[in-house]
């Protein structure tokens, strides 16, 4: 049985359909407070989040379109933070390299360079050691 005196704060996002069928989203937080008579009073607040939910839906749809376009074109995007030596790439890039995205991140140099033809990898390693490319400002 739920013990209101010990109960956690409640948090939930939920959809409300108003007239005429207008959909709105709310995020609510509430905390139970046990009253002297044994009843539970819930103190809470709700916030209108419809625009945020719609923006998240649009972002998810756009990300799916990008994944599909990359799959069709057999191309992928990546971001290499050279200063942090972190490489982030899309799932399609894993497929291009014949790797599994579930095997973990594609390793930055020298791991990635080992996937490239030795002659080409020397060119890439030289470029990566260029001081101008290792700074965020390029100077």
Structure token pair of residue 32: 């139970």
**Residues 59, 62, 64, 70: is their CA dihedral positive or negative?**
negative
Residue 86 lies in a domain: yes
Structure token pair of residue 118: 């030795």
Residues with Cβ < 8 Å from 117, sequence gap 6 or more?
none
Structure token pair of residue 108: 């930055």
Domain ranges, residue 102: 76-134
| Residues 30-62 pLDDT 10s | 999 999 999 999 999 999 999 999 999 999 999
Question: Which residue, among 99, 89, 100, has the nearest Cα to 66 in the 3D structure?
Answer: 89
Domain count, the chain: 2
Domain CATH code at residue 39: 2.10.70
| Residues 58-95 pLDDT 10s | 999 999 999 999 999 999 998 877 777 777 888 898 88
């Amino acid at each position: 049985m739920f013990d209101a005196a010990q109960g956690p704060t409640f948090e939930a996002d939920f959809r409300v359909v108003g007239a005429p069928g207008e959909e709105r989203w709310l995020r609510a937080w509430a905390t139970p407070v046990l009253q002297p008579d044994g009843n539970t009073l819930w103190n809470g607040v709700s916030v209108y989040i419809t625009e945020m939910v719609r923006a998240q839906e649009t972002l998810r749809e756009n990300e799916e379109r990008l994944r599909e376009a990359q799959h069709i074109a057999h191309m992928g995007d990546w971001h290499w933070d050279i200063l942090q030596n972190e490489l982030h790439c899309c799932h399609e890039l894993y497929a291009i390299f014949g790797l599994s995205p579930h095997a973990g991140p594609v390793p930055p140099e020298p791991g990635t360079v080992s996937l490239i033809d030795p002659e080409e990898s020397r060119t890439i390693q030289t470029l990566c050691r260029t001081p101008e490319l290792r700074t965020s400002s390029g100077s």
